[in-house]
């Protein structure tokens, strides 16, 4: 079958699509995780906590489709990335999976037993289901920027060196805290939009603190990358249209290499600027009592932060700290042109359907979740 799109263009398109899926997950499932992290703090009574839970109860399962899409895209479009990450980061992913399993348990069984102790256990389970993925995903992004401890032999078999705790070095942990702050801000703005006082007031306060923390931590991450972390740059052997073979290139460690793309294309600075501007506008929106605008600019801030990581790494998808030439890039870790083309057609069909369905669901569920609604519909609400 003839593929009408050049291989290098297909690779770029799928790099961008993977970014879109990750941004979609960070925005759509991100506020779910943020609400979970804030649940024990914004709700002082059982009714108030039920209000918070019911803001995300009808939508959290649908929002997780972005995580499934991201994993599916990595499997089909970037098989090398999928193989290395799911093998080397198995324990980290297992921890994330276990924490995510707590969500349906907390949502489904919390109201089944009318016991304050049981419900408090479920509330803290939902907190962990928000905090742990937010932290681990941030730590994963940090480890991409410092390089992951793997190498490929001549037959492209992967060897991973080190264990789970070797991933918890200072810079990745800093990135993990940045992720927690970002999603707490995002969840707080969503709660401020979907609830009334006193829950909305507390959510507004926590979202403001989280936005300030995001600004500080995001800045520290940038300074750390500039002054204390060597990036990676391809020096020879890269072919944009060749067969996927990570070992065909040469890579060197260079100070400031993760900032090279911004120097070549200055307009890419819009990504980190969007992260900063969105967080600043969240503070302004919350101060002016405009939670709807606050949620929009919070989403833009999340998109800016995630895009910053992707643009900084490009063309790398998964750099190697053990043997830099084994690092996986956009140009040498993809599936065949035919696979990418067929998947692109499917994606162009189904992504609009998912967006349309999501828009319809949120239109149907528009409005605030109130105490009267929760108390008056005990059988239909969480």
Which residue has better confidence, 316 or 376? 316
Helices 337-364 and 7-42: crossing angle in degrees, nearest 10, is 30
10 Å CB burial of residue 256 (0-12, 13-18, 19+) is middle
Residue 260 has pLDDT above 70, yes or no: yes
Is the residue at 1 inside a domain? no
Contacts of 21 (CB under 8 A, 6+ apart): 66, 69, 70, 73
For residue 20, tell me if it sits in a domain. no
Cα distance from N-terminal residue to C-terminal residue, the chain: 51
Domain that holds residue 306: 26-376
pLDDT attached to residue 375: 83
- Residue 15 falls inside a structural domain: no
pLDDT above 90 covers a percentage of the chain that reads 76
Question: What pTM does this model have?
Answer: 0.95
pLDDT of residue 250: 93
Count of domains forming the chain: 1
The enclosing H or E element of 310 equals helix 291-313
pLDDT the model gives residue 190: 97
How big, in percent rounded to 5, are the helix, strand and coil portions of the chain? 75, 5, 20
CB atoms within 10 A of CB 264: 8
Confidence at 162, pLDDT banded by 50, 70, 90: confident
Convert the pLDDT of each residue in 304-330 to its tens digit: 999 999 999 999 999 999 999 999 999
Q: What is the mean pLDDT of the chain?
A: 93
pLDDT tops 70 at residue 380: no
């Amino acid at each position: 079958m003839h593929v009408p799109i050049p291989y290098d263009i297909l690779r770029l398109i799928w790099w961008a699509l993977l970014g879109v899926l990750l941004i979609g997950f960070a925005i759509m499932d991100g506020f779910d995780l943020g609400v979970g992290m804030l649940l024990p703090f914004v709700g002082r009574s059982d009714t108030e906590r039920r209000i918070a839970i019911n803001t995300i109860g009808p939508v959290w399962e649908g929002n997780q489709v972005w995580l499934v899409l991201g994993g599916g895209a990595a499997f089909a479009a970037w098989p090398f990335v999928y193989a290395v990450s799911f093998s080397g980061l198995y324990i980290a992913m297992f921890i994330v999976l276990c924490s995510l399993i707590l969500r349906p348990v907390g949502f489904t069984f919390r109201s089944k037993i009318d016991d304050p102790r049981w419900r408090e256990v479920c509330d803290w389970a939902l907190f962990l289901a928000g905090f742990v993925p937010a932290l681990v995903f941030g730590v994963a992004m940090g480890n991409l920027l410092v390089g992951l401890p793997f190498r490929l032999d001549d037959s492209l078999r992967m060897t991973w060196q080190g264990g789970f705790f070797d991933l918890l070095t200072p810079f990745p942990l800093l990135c993990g805290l940045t992720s927690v702050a970002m999603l707490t801000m995002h969840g707080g703005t969503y709660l401020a939009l979907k609830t009334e006082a006193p829950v909305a007031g507390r959510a507004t306060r926590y979202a403001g603190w989280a936005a300030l923390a995001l600004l500080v931590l995001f800045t520290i991450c940038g300074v750390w990358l500039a002054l204390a972390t060597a990036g990676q740059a391809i020096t020879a052997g890269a072919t944009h249209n060749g067969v996927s073979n990570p070992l065909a290139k040469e890579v060197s460690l260079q100070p400031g290499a993760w900032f090279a793309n911004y120097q070549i294309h200055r307009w890419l600075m819009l990504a980190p600027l969007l992260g900063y501007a969105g967080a600043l506008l969240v503070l302004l929106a919350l101060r002016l009592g405009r939670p709807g605008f606050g949620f929009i600019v919070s989403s833009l801030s999340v998109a800016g932060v995630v895009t910053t990581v992707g643009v900084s790494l490009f063309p790398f998808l998964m750099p190697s700290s053990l043997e830099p030439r084994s690092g996986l890039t956009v140009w040498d870790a993809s599936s065949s042109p035919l696979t990418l083309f067929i998947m692109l057609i499917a994606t162009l069909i189904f992504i609009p359907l998912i967006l349309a369905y999501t828009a319809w669901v949120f239109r149907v569920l528009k409005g605030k979740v109130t105490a009267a609604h929760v108390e008056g519909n005990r059988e239909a609400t969480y």
